[in-house]
Structure 1
């Protein structure tokens, strides 16, 4: 009997000791809904890096769990608003009419890479665009772009007249404006569908950055990439969280997460997409894809300059109801992007 009492006391003492040494906080999981292939820069680099930053900044109190979303990426804005995920990212062009302002960075001829464009977009968003409340129901913690978009085709393109009538995948946003002006048959689809569409002959080509030669394996289903000077367009994305999730955090953790987001996150995302473009370029070359660099003196360059005339003003007029100084914001964005020097 004494032995049983002694054993019971030992168990209680051990349990009490374990309780005293247990962490004094409960771990918060920040669930990220993502899309695109695992090898895309966003999933291979950006989310894992940010997850590490968040965990370190909050001293382990907040950990990021990345989950693949199987739906159309346009639904992620709503899914985060509804709390299905705590955070995500998506492409503005997938939701026509709602996110007009970030497309400021998509206008042709910016002539920079994704890091410079992403930093410029974030700064201009903070200064000029944020108060227009296009992201009502979401808290934006980053903005970024992919690298310059190019024309990926099965057949060679010597002039824009060669494109007329061709079925070209476009992602929305400024791409749609360009497609209309080029008189192509625009086919809307998320980027991950492009390989299958090209393979099956549903489309003849696509507007996409160079990264996708590797990530989407376009080097297997296209033969040519036509690269215009200064870039044909950029693609704009936002990274966002559910405001209620942020409000429920301890103030110190909310502050810590924001400290590793904003411009720091935007620059890192753009830098990762630039690196992805470089890898895509090498994959295309290795596969024998012909990369045609159009010079400023070529016919296509002159045609393109004529084709894009008036696009800036069209965009400015399209956002008049947003009550922002769009013309000044566009000038400042280009100035920031073209003078940007990455931190060493």
Structure 2
């Protein structure tokens, strides 16, 4: 009877969700690439869909589909119209995005919510003219929390990272890894578990949510934590432009004013802070896991790397015609203000 009750409950939930989709005038396809249980798919997308449904009075909804393409191909998937919405990680496509590296720099003080709001505002002020998301509708920008080093062996000092085979996501994380002497291995996040489990990598650079979201507690049982993080990661929530254009003008207007932009960016950053907290909690509750915080000496030793990488990224932005100094200062100011 208990099994029958569970089956009936599951069926009721499915019918309810399907009925909601059928009632909407526009039911869009979301391309999901993280595991279904990851915060991107269990919190962020459901929140976004709910916001769109409420703002449009039920006219717009969306459903997640998996396995449509690997993470680095998500931008092109939406450009081609094979999916309507997705989240892209900018670091997966080296050279395609430069302005996005600004928010990835180490040295900022603040959580993912603060960083995401600051990111959207500085994008509007300084980065939008780069048109790096050309061809798609940019819905929101956000970051993950501070990126840390997750390792098989316990790390005692910054110097212990030198020569470590490490999965690095790209972007500023790659720049930092090179300065630290890491031997970089490029694989997307969904492949991290097997890369570590097979011994192909000794470590991975990721935010703390990955302890739970990608089960790092099982394959990288030690965390070496740099206060403020070694870097941050940059994401964009995007939509097929033609899919957006076919919406009625009044629906487009309400989504623009009540959902997209800073509102969605704040929601995504806040959700990431939540899942980072969950990752920390899971680590602390695992008896065979440990978190080692960098010493004052290592924090001081990391500062020249921060300075060097920052100078390099700001130079890249300047070469693209961005007032890099003003943009950098704006992020710092906005993060402390919101």
Matches within 5 A, 1:233-248: 233-248=231-246
Cα distance between partner residues in 2 of 1:244 and 1:138: 8
The offset of 1:207, in angstroms, is: 0.4
Is residue 33–residue 66 contact of structure 2 (8 Å, CA) maintained in 1?
A: yes
Gaps of 5+ in 2: 1-22
2:147 to 133, 149, 165: 149
Matches within 5 A, 1:154-303: 154-258=152-256, 259-288=258-287, 289-295=289-295, 297=296, 299-303=297-301
Q: Which moved more, 1:153-162 or 1:213-222?
A: 153-162
The offset of 1:310, in angstroms, is: 2.1
Cα distance between partner residues in 2 of 1:42 and 1:216: 12
Q: TM-score, normalised by structure 1?
A: 0.88
Matches within 5 A, 1:25-174: 27-174=25-172
Cα distance between partner residues in 2 of 1:61 and 1:230: 42
Match of 2:316 in 1: 318
The offset of 1:224, in angstroms, is: 1.1
Shift in CA distance, 301/249, structure 1 to aligned 2, threshold 3 Å: same
The offset of 1:70, in angstroms, is: 4.4
Gaps of 5+ in 1: 1-24
Cα distance between partner residues in 1 of 2:260 and 2:104: 22
> Could you give the per-residue CA deviations for residues 185-220 of structure 1, whole angstroms, max 9, x where no partner exists?
100011111111111111001000011111111111
> Could you give the per-residue CA deviations for residues 20-69 of structure 1, whole angstroms, max 9, x where no partner exists?
xxxxx972112111211112211111111111111121112222122123
Is residue 220–residue 287 contact of structure 1 (8 Å, CA) maintained in 2?
A: no
Match of 1:11 in 2: none
> Could you give the per-residue CA deviations for residues 155-197 of structure 1, whole angstroms, max 9, x where no partner exists?
1212222111110000000010011111111000111111111
> Could you give the per-residue CA deviations for residues 99-127 of structure 1, whole angstroms, max 9, x where no partner exists?
11011111111121110000000111111
Equivalences, count:
314
Cα distance between partner residues in 1 of 2:139 and 2:84: 12
The offset of 1:135, in angstroms, is: 1.0
